Amino acid sequence: MSNTTGTESRRGRRSLGSAGLGQALRAAIPPVLVVLLLLVLAVPAALLVAPGFVAPGATVAAAPVPAWQQLPATVSAPQVLAPLQQSAPVPTPSAVAAQVDPLLATDGGGTFTGMVQDASTGQVLFDRGGSEGRVPASNLKLLTSAAALRTLGPDHRFATKVLRGPAPGQVVLVGGGDVLLGAGESRPEQTLGHAGLATLAAQAVDALRAAGTTGEITVLLDDSLFTGPALNPAWLAGDVEAGEIAPLYPLALNSARFDPAVTTGPRPQDAAMAAAGEFAARLRAAGAGAGLTVAAGVERAPGTATAAGAAVQAQPVVLAEVESATVAEQVDLMLQVSDNYLAETMGRMAALATGRSGSNDGATAAVVAEAGAAGVATDTIKLADVCGLALGNQVSARQFTDVVRAMTTGADARLRGALDGFPVGGLSGTLDTRYGDAGTAGGAGLVRAKTGTLNTVLALSGYVVDADGRLLVFSFIGNGLTPGAAGNKQALDRAATVLAGCGCR
């Protein structure tokens, strides 16, 4: 009974807060104070609605902007990772071996070799057959990257030119090593498609019109910068048919792909002629309003190109020119997506830069020589190509850790241009879908490494900062592996992950 009475009593008091409250106030407050209260409330309300009644053109003084809404006078300093400290402790080899060795177990047949070094001192922290020559798969692109950066320089660009032809009415499209051409307008913010054939064609039309050229134009192609077989006999026919690689030429659209968005499947077998045909079409469209027509079909120009890519005349007249993304940007793309065609092109351009022929033999010789110049012992390196697709390549884990050391801490600053291209575990490139399970999640965002994959080969070479702040470089290579066995990639990733979490002392 008391509980019920109490509840009802509380309900009655709450009802006073609506209609009863107004009656109580009128009874308790004198009329004059009520009027004053209404005036106080009315003034701010009037300020809110007044702008709607101001005549057009009239101005109303703006209220001062509160300090918290104003732009800051200074910008806060960016928050970045602290630089590495040389005082960070170096892991002990026995502790590293205890962590890594059990994880490098194959799933089925084959064997893993591996090497871990302290990047600063070169001290070997783990060595399982690290000096043994192995088929490296696409880890070989690390050596090719070093060669390109050393010989060409990180800021170098490849030029694709249009020259006045040897006969009236002819123009010559000259390949200068850019295989990342786009069909449309140049896109300066991109690496693939940085130089566009539509832009090149528009420039050529402007130059022809300025020279008073009219009538029909014939397009010739000069792709003689590269020599030797366009298709390496060391590549398996099945890999060529699957589109892993294609015949090499010094100009191509989309790294010799039909569609830049489709990076698998068959490729054009004459990428230079495909690019020349696209250029002729763009020239035809651009010249339609300038009194120019373009003959159907493209022919290869007679003569031999010089290393600079100008050949059909003693003093060729350049009508138009577009430049590629920088070598450093192309190296980044090559490492991120493991582009075989781009790697082979980089090898040939490095060969030309060192006075060698633009052939496979020139490319392999240049890559080995530049690895040696970067501090890598090269006496046991054997190369059949420079992209890693050939099974005849032999490179050791030690040679890879040495080149990664040169890139991260070596004296040649040009090699730093490769570091952005290393895929990041769980985030980018060929590692974007890895490092997501319980055994490898600790390496996500921390492991930075180049992958390598062939039917019976897996490799992973890169660098990581351990839990104590020490920069470590590593290389793990599996040969003779059971094709498709899932545990082998996991073994590589887990080994790299324990390095990232290592307080190995």
Just list the catalytic residues: 138, 141, 338
Residues 6+ apart with CB under 8 A from 407: 142, 146, 415, 416, 418, 419
The one-character DSSP state at 161 is: E
Write down the number of H helices and E strands in the chain: 13, 13
Question: Across-strand partners of 218?
Answer: 170
Q: Coil, helix or strand for 208?
A: helix
Q: What angle do CA 332, 336, 342 make, to 5 degrees?
A: 65
The one-character DSSP state at 28 is: H
Please give the structure tokens belonging to residue 284. 């035809």
Strands of 298-447 (E only): list them: 299-300, 318-323
Got the DSSP string for 336-376? Answer: HHT-HHHHHHHHHHHHHHTT--SSHHHHHHHHHHHHHHTT-
Alpha-carbon distances, residue 86 vs 90, 118, 120 (angstroms): 9, 11, 8
- As a whole number of angstroms, the distance between CA 415 and CA 154 comes to 8
DSSP strand pairing (215-222 vs 170-174): parallel
Got the DSSP string for 452-470? Answer: EEETTEEEEEEEEE-TTS-
Compute how many other C-beta atoms are within 10 angstroms of the C-beta atom of residue 42. Answer: 10
